Amino acid sequence: MTLMMIKLDIARGRIMKEIIKIVITGGPCGGKTSALPFIEKHFRLIGYNVITVGESASEILVSQPQIRCGTEEFQNAVMSVQLEKEEKAEKSVFGKTLIVCDRGIADMAAYIDKPSYEKLIGGTGGNIVSARDRYDAVFHMVTAAEGAEKYYFSGGNSVRMENAQQAANLDKRTLAAWVGHNHLRLIDNSTDFNGKVARLISEIEFFLGVPKSLEIERKFLIKYPDTKLLEKMYNCHCVDIQQVYLTPKDGANRRIRKRGENGYYVCYFTEKRKISNIIREEYEKKISEAEYERLMEEADPCRRPITKKRYCLMENGTYFEIDVFPFWKDKAFLEVELLDERQSFVIPNYIRVIRDVTKDRKYTNYALSRKNLIE
């Protein structure tokens, strides 16, 4: 779980602020906008200052009906408005704040081709990684056109022009734009709308660490995957990871991590404390590259940096992470983070599981980082 934290010096008369910015995304008629009032009410009741950022594309289409959707001109306008609204929201922070965005910058990748999208992002001084990972968590609400077709309609939104098939295609493209994010969750149509919103709120609570910040994870040793197959799939994206373990402190394992692609990275600091074999208390925050380099000075001398390629895969409604290491040519890890120890999931049939190693400490990244380890 990722919390972007900004701490200000109370002794100098300033307050401590904690900002968490999330995205509610998905194809047309998924319930994104309708869910916002429920999210706002729920999290205000448990102590959050909630700021919602409305969908920029719809606002532009209403105010400028002459502009053509799906063009670079339109998406550039969307980006400008979105960035302005997010900046305004971040300046309105007071205390513990949850910023909830109805769609995010990466959504525009579903509507224009990749070179055009990269050009637009580059025009802001950013890149694909920074556009995707500027948000702390992403929650994809599947369009009603996938699994709840009888509830799909375009008439309830004056600017919605897609038929059900077009909406389903946009849903897949939107999901693909976010695959690779550190925390992506899918909210499908397996229940009615009230149940869908309840599941969304539960996922947001879990991410925020309400009532407690936990990592509930299953890990499997698998045969080396067909990486060429994975790289061709729209619902899979590869990121590079380097993580360095720091000397333990106050009973917690600490690490720093660079995560990204093509030379662009986001850095994180993480602390974990074991509660049970599959549950750990976890605290994580984004850090600057300068802070990453500073913390390198605290690297544990008994451990080596771990580098790996992570294939982020959204399949069967579950977000899987496949870790491929340079020192293994015949095996890899498959991990899945769960809301509950009893939560069920289906591993894709093209992944060959050797065995469940969730409780086997030999197969933790921490163990693999030992300098004297011989595999």
What is the pLDDT at residue 5?
Answer: 35
Average per-residue pLDDT for the chain: 90
Q: How many CB atoms lie within 10 A of CB 225?
A: 19
pLDDT of residue 8 exceeding 60, the answer is no
What is the pLDDT at residue 2?
Answer: 39
CA distance 375 to 368: 9
Q: Which residues contact 158 (CB under 8 A, 6 or more apart)?
A: 62
If you average pLDDT over residues 101-116, what whole number do you get?
94
Q: Are 214 and 208 in contact (CB under 8 A)?
A: no
What is the pLDDT at residue 10?
Answer: 29
Here the CATH number for the domain that contains residue 317 is 2.40.320.10
155-169, 252-266, 301-315, 324-338, range with the lowest pLDDT: 155-169
What is the pLDDT at residue 345?
Answer: 96
Burial class of 156 by CB neighbour count within 10 A (0 to 12, 13 to 18, 19+): exposed
Q: Residue 373 — pLDDT band, cuts 50, 70, 90?
A: low
At 173, which amino acid appears?
A: R
Cis peptide before 28 (omega within 30 of 0): no
Q: Residue 7 — pLDDT band, cuts 50, 70, 90?
A: very low
Is there a domain that residue 334 lies in? Answer: yes
Per-residue 3-state assignment (H helix, E strand, C coil) for 145-196: CCCCHHHCCCCCCCCCCCCHHHHHHHHHHHHHHHCCCCCEEEECCCCCHHHH
Q: Which residues contact 120 (CB under 8 A, 6 or more apart)?
A: 72, 75, 76, 79, 108, 112
Angle at 130 between CA 95 and CA 41, to 5 degrees: 35
> Are residues 301 and 323 both part of a single domain?
yes
If you average pLDDT over residues 309-324, what whole number do you get?
97
Q: Residue 92 — pLDDT band, cuts 50, 70, 90?
A: confident
- The single residue listed with the structure tokens 């008994």 is 302
Here the CATH number for the domain that contains residue 184 is 3.40.50.300
Q: Residue 160 — pLDDT band, cuts 50, 70, 90?
A: low
What is the pLDDT at residue 15?
Answer: 40
User: Token digits for 187?
Assistant: 């909210």
> Are residues 265 and 317 both part of a single domain?
yes
Is there a domain that residue 290 lies in? Answer: yes
Percentage of the chain lying above the pLDDT 90 cut: 76
In terms of Cα–Cα distance, which of 75, 42, 39 is closest to 187? Answer: 39
CA distance 142 to 187: 6
What DSSP assignment string belongs to 211-226? S--EEEEEEEEEEPP-
Which of 185, 208, 231 is where one domain is finished? Answer: 208
Burial class of 100 by CB neighbour count within 10 A (0 to 12, 13 to 18, 19+): buried
pLDDT of residue 218 exceeding 80, the answer is yes
Is there a domain that residue 374 lies in? Answer: no
If you average pLDDT over residues 297-302, what whole number do you get?
96
> Are residues 53 and 160 both part of a single domain?
yes
Domain that holds residue 226: 215-368
> Are residues 188 and 268 both part of a single domain?
no
User: Token digits for 153?
Assistant: 């309609």
Percentage of the chain lying above the pLDDT 70 cut: 91
If you average pLDDT over residues 122-133, what whole number do you get?
93
Phi first, then psi, for residue 283 (nearest 5°) are: -130, 130
Q: Which residues contact 70 (CB under 8 A, 6 or more apart)?
A: 111, 112
In terms of Cα–Cα distance, which of 204, 2, 21, 16 is closest to 104? Answer: 21
- The single residue listed with the structure tokens 């992506």 is 184
Q: Residue 61 — pLDDT band, cuts 50, 70, 90?
A: confident
If you average pLDDT over residues 59-71, what whole number do you get?
75
Q: How many CB atoms lie within 10 A of CB 244?
A: 21
pLDDT of residue 68 exceeding 70, the answer is no
DSSP character at residue 68? P
Q: How far is CA 249 from CA 41, 232, 271, 272, 273, in A?
A: 38, 42, 9, 10, 11
> Are residues 277 and 300 both part of a single domain?
yes
pLDDT of residue 374 exceeding 50, the answer is no
The model carries a pTM of: 0.89
If you average pLDDT over residues 67-86, what whole number do you get?
86
> Are residues 225 and 189 both part of a single domain?
no
User: Token digits for 356?
Assistant: 């469940």
Kindly state the helix (H) or strand (E) to which residue 122 belongs, with its residue range.
Answer: helix 114-123
If you average pLDDT over residues 307-327, what whole number do you get?
97
What is the pLDDT at residue 327?
Answer: 93
Q: Are 337 and 217 in contact (CB under 8 A)?
A: yes
pLDDT tens-digit series, residues 235-255: 999 999 999 999 998 888 999
pLDDT tens-digit series, residues 11-32: 333 344 579 999 999 999 999 9
> Are residues 265 and 280 both part of a single domain?
yes
- Secondary structure percentages of the chain, helix, strand, coil, to 5: 35, 30, 35
Which of 174, 208, 242 is where one domain is finished? Answer: 208
pLDDT of residue 211 exceeding 90, the answer is no
CA distance 323 to 315: 16
Angle between helix axes 72-91 and 56-63 (nearest 10 degrees) is 120
> Are residues 121 and 233 both part of a single domain?
no
Q: Residue 112 — pLDDT band, cuts 50, 70, 90?
A: very high
